[in-house]
Amino acid sequence: MSFESRLSYDSEEPSGCGSCPDRIVCRCLKITEDAVIEAIVASGVSNVRELRRCTGAGQGCTACLRRLQLLIQEHAELLAKAS
């Protein structure tokens, strides 16, 4: 798979798996979406650098950085509305 294909593949939602509990977001380090969301919610992660420190996600090929940023924004907004 070419680099460009991987970038578009990583940024798309797989059909039928939008909320799979073990969905991998960082393929290099096998970090799940749940682990990322837990770091955002429990540790108050507000940027990719903090998320990388907490989970390691994004430290491999970096193709997942856009998805990680979207998860941070999405869950930070939800936390702000809940407060």
> CATH no. for residue 76?
1.10.10.1100
Crossing angle of the two packed helices 33-43 and 48-55, in degrees rounded to 10 = 110
Q: Of 14-18, 28-32, 78-82, which has the strongest mean pLDDT?
A: 28-32
Residue 20 is predicted with a pLDDT of 67
Q: Give the residue among 38, 27, 29, 28 at the shortest CA–CA distance from 71.
A: 38
Domain count, the chain: 1
pLDDT of residue 38: 93
Residue 69 sits at φ, ψ, to 5 deg, of -60, -40
DSSP single-letter state for residue 60: S
**Domain containing 53: what range?**
3-12+19-82
Compute the average pLDDT of residues 17-37. 86
Percent of the chain residues topping a pLDDT of 70: 75
